[in-house]
Amino acid sequence: MPEPGKLNIAGGEFEIDAATVAQGLRLDISNLKEGLKDGGITCRVERGEEADAGRFRVTFFSENCEFRLITDSGGRVVQRSVINFGAAARNRRQKTDKIVS
């Protein structure tokens, strides 16, 4: 199990404890797991280059929130941020049956 708040990096695989991600996305763990399972929560991992070499940026996306961690090469979090897009994001992402041109 990963150390709370730390990203484990091994062999190109990344692992972080669910409680850290759930807290960042303002969800309970059961909703986090459900979102990961059904694709409502996604993640992107980026490797730093040049001045940021050795760092990783891990961003988790939910319906209305973005949670980002920046870690050093050992997986220790050096920066974290949360953007909550609120109801505006939900309204923008509503599906439609029509395309108007």
* Chain segment 28-73, per-residue pLDDT in tens: 999 999 999 999 999 999 999 999 999 999 999 998 899 999 999 8
Higher pLDDT, 14 or 51: 51
CA dist 84 → 41, 54, 65 (Å): 14, 28, 4
- Please state the pTM of the whole predicted model: 0.78
Higher pLDDT, 58 or 101: 58
Which residue stretches of 3-83 are H helix? 18-24, 29-38
The mean pLDDT value for 2-7 works out to 73
Look at residue 61 in the predicted model and tell me its pLDDT: 95
